[in-house]
Structures are given as structure tokens and as C-alpha cells.
Amino acid sequence: MRFTFATEQTSLRAPASAGRIDRLWFVGIHMLMAALLFLASSQAHATSRIKDLAGFEGVRENILVGYGLVVGLKGTGDDLKKISATKESLAGMLERLGINTRDSKMEPDNVAAVIVTATIPPFSRQGSRIDVQVSSIGNALSLQGGTLAVTPLMGADGEVYAVSQGSVQVGGFAAQGAAASISRGVPTSGRIPSGAIVEREIDFSLAAMRQAKLSLRNPDLTTARRVAQAINAFMGTTSAATIDPGTVMVAIPDGYEGSMVDVMTDVEQLKIEPDQTARVVIDENTGVIVIGQDVRISTVAVAQGNLTIKVSETPQVSQPSPFSETGTTTVVPRTEITVEEDKDRRLALVDDGVSLQELVNGLNSLGVGPRDMISILQAIKAAGALQAEIEVM
């Protein structure tokens, strides 16, 4: 966006005879011009913080999982006759509490076996709480009103990092009678806010690091280079270097006294203009089409039309005359075939290097829907005229 202002040479300076109001108007016009020029230059390119484009390697979440029992259900638990794992787990839990139930016939309907999942944030300390998700793995009808018994949560290395327990909050519900049933949402899945306590910390010494790696969420060579250039320009050194399209190495420069936290804090606030690959994303299941800003099309002619053949069967009944002794009632078939062709559709010419808006307007002018537009885009790509990648979901 660029603004051009044409003024005479004498208008660049207020006349000496002008009054106070004229001089104020003169100054105000030039302030407005300066503001418009600044606005145009600031909005010419969209910038984003490095914090929103990349993350520091090692500063990440970790996934936890565990197996437990939800008790206290109102007759909506697992059927212990069919789910033997729930029965064995309940018996084992009671034995650890000093109750022997091996020889007794135990068939309660208020217990359900569940899988408990959680995500532990980076730098979580002992005693801090995290949310957990509880999901049934048996034939329980609902977990509403249940309480999760003590369940250890393990990481990928098999070590226990948290312990969960608490009342399960279920968003859905289910009810049934003798001849009908109703359900809303997923009553066999729920969550426990702050339902787990961190017992083991994940060792990661950030302060002792001498260098860190920035991992781009959308790897791109141009974006990675711009990130390194922005960091070096801010630091006044060459402490940042691009390793690959998704990684930028950042070392501690002079003046930061060995504090990687200070370096990361300053780096993540820098703003750059990210680059992206021209791409068209298509979801054939829902008919959703997302076209990137840099998608361009070479000169190509597009025509779209449909041929519809409609076959209608309207059989008629032929009856004999009244009081006839020889006639019989028969069904006479009647078939009607109709051919509909879109004759009003014309061949449309798409010029070379059209923009995203022009492409959308051109396809809409043909009167095509999302499904037909998907076929047109794929055909244009097959013809070599679409300068972008097509990703089908």
C-alpha cells in the first residue's frame, strides 16, 4: 500500500500572512499525511512474534497415562460378568486395602474401568496440580457421579510422575427405559480439573545451557533465515545461525552473563514476517476449501457443466370393465426419461497470475459449488496451471 500526495511547491510552506487558524489547519494536514504514510508502511506486511512461530527445544509438555477404577456410579458401571478385567482390578485394589474378596461372589454395577490421561507442563514442580481426562474402556453406560480412585500416571519411560484422584465431571448424560433411551454428549468420558498431583519432576536445567535451538512450528527456509537475521540484528552479533528449515541455533552472546532465560525472553518478543508455501487444502468429506494467499494460476480456460438424466416410474393400474367375467386387473408400466443439461454455462478464461480474490470471484462467477470447485482445482493442478501444492485431507 502506498500513498502519493501531489502538492505545489508553494504549499510546502505556510504563507507568512496566514492567520493562526490557517497555520493550525496547515500543520494538521501534514500530521495527517505523516500518520497515513506510517500506517501504510506498518500494515504493508503482517508480522508475528518469534514466540508465536517457534518454540525452544526441550521446553515441552510430556504425556502421562494410567489405568484406574471409577467407583460410586448409580448402576451405570461395567457388567462384571462380561468385563473380567474390571472384576480382577476391583479385587486387587481391595486386597491391597486388606480385604479378601477372592472367594465371594462380587458383582456390583457401580464400578467402571477407565484410562486416565494427562499432560504435564514443562518445569512442573512437586506438589503442583494438573488436569486429567477419564475415559471408560468397558461397557459402562455413564461415569456421571463417579469418583476416580487413586491412580498412578506414568510417562513413556514407565516411571510414575503424578497421582490422580477426584470426582469425575461429565458433560453428557444418558437415560433409558423399557422401550426408549436418550443420550447427549459422551457420558462415558469426563475430566477432573486439577485432579492429579505431580510427584516427580522432569530434570531440565535451562540456566546451565550455553546455547538453545529454536524449532519452527511450520518449517520454512525463508522464515528460519529471517528469524536468525532478526536475532543477530537485535543482539548486534552472529549468535544465531540457521541449521535447517525448522531449526535456528541461538548461543548466549556477550552481555547476558550466561543467562539463557534472558536470551529467550528477548528473542521470543522479536517480530518477523513469516513466509509460507502456496498451498490449497481440500477436505473432500466436508467440502471445505482453504486457499493460501500466495496461490497463483497461469492462463487457463475453465468450463463447468452438468448432465442430469432423470428416470421416473409412474405405473398405472388397468382394470377390466364392470361385471366382466374374463378381464383381469393388471399394472401398466409408465416410464418417463428427462435429460437436463446446463446450456447456460460458458467457457471462462482465467488470466495469468491472478490473485486469491480474483480466483475465488472467477470460480463463483461460474456458479459452482464447493464440490465442483474441488474438481476444478484438481483439474487445473493436473493441467500444470496451478502454482501451488494441493493437500487433500
Q: What's the whole-number mean pLDDT along residues 364-391?
A: 77
pLDDT of residue 393: 76
Residue 147 has pLDDT above 50, yes or no: yes
Backbone angles phi, psi at 79, to 5 degrees: -85, 105
Cα separation of 211 and 227, whole Å? 16
pLDDT of residue 146: 94
**Among residues 133, 154, 160, which one has the least CA distance to residue 63?**
154
Cα separation of 67 and 78, whole Å? 15
- Characterize 3-27 residue by residue with b for buried, 16 or more Cβ atoms within 10 angstroms of its Cβ, and e for exposed: eeeeeeeeeeeeeeeeeeeeeeebe
Cα separation of 139 and 112, whole Å? 8
Residue 233 has pLDDT above 80, yes or no: yes
Same domain for 77 and 143, yes or no, is: yes
pLDDT of residue 9: 37
pLDDT of residue 363: 67
pLDDT of residue 39: 43
Residue 270 has pLDDT above 80, yes or no: yes
**Among residues 102, 110, 108, 182, which one has the least CA distance to residue 144?**
110
* Residue 26 falls inside a structural domain: yes
Same domain for 89 and 181, yes or no, is: yes
Q: 286 lies in which domain range?
A: 280-308+341-392
Cα separation of 229 and 225, whole Å? 6
pLDDT of residue 382: 83
Cα separation of 72 and 324, whole Å? 77
* Residue 326 falls inside a structural domain: no
* Residue 315 falls inside a structural domain: no
Residue 64 to residues 14, 26, 69, 122, 198: CA-CA distances in angstroms?
72, 67, 17, 13, 11
**Which amino acid is located at 111 in the chain?**
V
Q: What's the whole-number mean pLDDT along residues 292-321?
A: 70
User: Which pLDDT tens digit goes with each residue over 37-78?
Assistant: 444 444 445 788 998 999 888 888 899 999 999 999 988 899
**What does the angle CA 166 – CA 167 – CA 171 come to, to the nearest 5 degrees?**
135
Higher-confidence residue: 26 or 260? 260
Cα separation of 48 and 274, whole Å? 7
Backbone angles phi, psi at 154, to 5 degrees: -110, 155
Cα separation of 56 and 216, whole Å? 9
Cα separation of 12 and 95, whole Å? 94
pLDDT of residue 15: 44
Grid cell in block for residue 325:
367375467
Q: Which one of 198, 219, 246 terminates a domain?
A: 198
Give the distance, in angstroms, between the CA of residue 69 and the centroid of all CA atoms in the same chain. Answer: 32
User: Which pLDDT tens digit goes with each residue over 336-345?
Assistant: 766 565 555 5
* Residue 54 falls inside a structural domain: no
**Among the listed ranges 80-84, 173-177, 247-251, which one has the minimum average pLDDT value?**
173-177
Grid cell in block for residue 323:
361385471
Grid cell in block for residue 350:
482465467
Cα separation of 7 and 19, whole Å? 21
pLDDT of residue 57: 83
* Residue 177 falls inside a structural domain: yes
How many distinct helices (H) and strands (E) make up the chain? 7, 25
* Residue 236 falls inside a structural domain: yes
pLDDT of residue 248: 94
- Phi-psi sector, 75: left (phi>0), alpha (psi -120 to 50), beta: left
**Among the listed ranges 14-23, 85-94, 221-230, 319-328, which one has the minimum average pLDDT value?**
14-23
pLDDT > 70: percent of the chain: 74
* The overall pTM is greater than 0.75: no
* Residue 49 falls inside a structural domain: no
Q: What's the whole-number average pLDDT of the chain?
A: 78
Same domain for 26 and 87, yes or no, is: no
Give the helix, strand, coil percentages of the chain, each rounded to 5. 25, 35, 45
Same domain for 17 and 74, yes or no, is: no
Q: What's the whole-number mean pLDDT along residues 19-30?
A: 48
Q: What's the whole-number mean pLDDT along residues 3-13?
A: 37
Same domain for 260 and 358, yes or no, is: no
Higher-confidence residue: 333 or 220? 220
Q: Which one of 245, 272, 299 terminates a domain?
A: 272
Confirm if 87 and 80 have CB atoms less than 8 A apart: yes
Same domain for 232 and 168, yes or no, is: no
Q: Which one of 221, 245, 272 terminates a domain?
A: 272
Number of other residues whose CB lies within 10 A of the CB of residue 187: 20
Residue 235 has pLDDT above 90, yes or no: no
pLDDT of residue 340: 60
Same domain for 181 and 219, yes or no, is: no
Strand duo 211-216 + 307-313: pairing: unpaired
Same domain for 301 and 358, yes or no, is: yes
Same domain for 217 and 295, yes or no, is: no
- Give the bridge partners for 341, in sequence order: 307
- Characterize 130-151 residue by residue with b for buried, 16 or more Cβ atoms within 10 angstroms of its Cβ, and e for exposed: bebbbebebebbbbbebebbeb
Per-residue pLDDT band for 207 (boundaries 50, 70, 90) equals confident
pLDDT of residue 30: 47
Task: Give the count of domains, the chain.
Answer: 4
Same domain for 158 and 117, yes or no, is: yes
Same domain for 268 and 284, yes or no, is: no
- Phi-psi sector, 98: left (phi>0), alpha (psi -120 to 50), beta: left
Per-residue pLDDT band for 163 (boundaries 50, 70, 90) equals very high
Cα separation of 357 and 378, whole Å? 18
pLDDT of residue 180: 75
For the ranges 6-10, 117-121, 280-284, 367-371, the maximum mean pLDDT occurs at 117-121
Cα separation of 248 and 245, whole Å? 8
pLDDT > 90: percent of the chain: 28
Strand duo 389-392 + 279-283: pairing: parallel
- Give the bridge partners for 151, in sequence order: 164
Same domain for 72 and 170, yes or no, is: yes
* Residue 50 falls inside a structural domain: no
